[in-house]
Amino acid sequence: METIISRESRVESRQSEDQTKETLADSGFFWREKNGVKILVCRRLEEKGFANGFSTRLGGVSPFPENSLNLSGVDIDSAENLAENRKRFLEIFGGDYWLASSWQTHSADVRIVNNLDDAENGIQKSDALISNLENVLVGVKTADCVPILFGDNRTKAFAAVHAGWRGTANSIVVKTIEKMREIYGTNTEDLICAIGPAASGKNYEVGQDIINAFEKNFSTCGNLFTKTREGHALVDLHLANKEQISSIGVLPENIFIAPLCTIERTDLFFSYRVEKNLYGKTGRLLSVIGLKKSRQ
C-alpha cells in the first residue's frame, strides 16, 4: 500500500525540524551527520579542541526495531552488529581513535585512562572516565540516564560521566571534577561541560526511595521534584547535575544542556523506560569526548 504524505504534513515536519535546530543552536549544540549516522555536538567543546558527540539511534544495523545504532550490550545484540555500529559511529569523528568505556554499575566510581591498555579494558567497573590521551575517546552508555562531558580548556584533560539517579544522588560529577583536579591540576573555572539528552523532569517519575536518597544529599531538593501522586514525583536529573556542577565552581556560561528528552524523542534516542515495556529490550547510546585531531 502506498502511503501518501500531504504537503501540509511535509511542511509541519520541516517546520518542527527547523524549530529543533534553532532550539539546539540557542543551547550550544548542533547536529553532525555522516552516512546516515547522526550525533549531537557541543559547539563550545569543539571550538576549544575537543572531539565530542552524543549518539542517536540513527544509521545503524541493529533490530531495535530496525536500522538502529545500538552501541552496547552483547546480551541483547550480536557482536557483529555492535562492531559495525561502533565503526560507523567512530567514522563520524575522523581519524583513528581508541574508544575507552567501562562496565557501568550506577556507581560514583571514577576511572583514569592512562594508556592504551587502560582504554582497551572495557570490563573494569566505573561510571565516569577521565583522561588526557591524544588518541582516545572516553565514553559512557545511556538510555535515559544523563550523559555528561567535561573538557578542561587549560590542561586539555577530559571526562565522560554516566549519571543515573544513583550516581547523581551520590555526586558523581563532583567526584569526577575532584579527580580531574587531583590528577591533572584542573581548575573548575577552566572546565566546559555538556549535559546530553536524557529523561527530562517532565517525564521521569520516581518513587519515595529515590526521593529520600536525594533529600539526604541535596539541600535544594525541593527544586528537583514535582509531586505526581502519593509517594511519587517527577525528578529533574538535568537540573540536579547542573546544580552540583555549579556548586563546585564551574562557570554558568560554560555549562550547556541539550534540550532533548529521550522519553519524548524515541525517534532519535533509545529510552529504557519506553522501549523495555514495548519490546522487552532497548539499545544503548554512547556519549564521547577526546582531543580533536588536527587533520579533522
pLDDT in tens, 77-86: 999 999 999 9
Q: How far is CA 38 from CA 34, 88, 293, in A?
A: 7, 10, 20
Arithmetic mean of pLDDT, 84-93: 96
- Looking at the chain, the whole-number percentage of residues with pLDDT higher than 90 is 80
Q: What is the pLDDT of residue 19?
A: 59
- Mean pLDDT score across all residues of the chain: 91
Residue 218 predicted with pLDDT over 90 = no
Dist. CA 262–CA 269, nearest whole Å = 5
* Partner residues linked to 227 by β-bridges: 233
Residue 3 predicted with pLDDT over 80 = no
Q: What is the pLDDT of residue 293?
A: 79
Arithmetic mean of pLDDT, 53-74: 95
Arithmetic mean of pLDDT, 175-198: 98
Q: What is the pLDDT of residue 17?
A: 62
As to burial, measured by CB atoms within 10 angstroms (0-12 exposed, 13-18 middle, 19+ buried), residue 17 is exposed
* Partner residues linked to 128 by β-bridges: 110, 161
Q: Which of the residue ranges 74-78, 226-230, 269-273 would you say has the lowest mean pLDDT?
A: 74-78
Number of Cα atoms under 13 Å in the Cβ half of residue 241: 34
- What's domain 14-199+255-291's architecture? 4-Layer Sandwich (3.60)
Arithmetic mean of pLDDT, 108-113: 97
Buried b (16+ CB within 10 A) or exposed e, 54-85: bbbbbbbbbebeeebbbbbbeebbeeebbeeb
* Partner residues linked to 256 by β-bridges: 194
99 is written with which cell numbers?
A: 574508544
As to burial, measured by CB atoms within 10 angstroms (0-12 exposed, 13-18 middle, 19+ buried), residue 268 is buried
The answer for residues whose C-beta is within 8 angstroms of residue 193's C-beta and 6 or more apart is: 148, 149, 150, 245, 250, 254, 255, 256
In angstroms, how far is CA 259 from the centroid of its own chain?
A: 12
pLDDT band at 20 (very low <50, low <70, confident <90, very high): confident
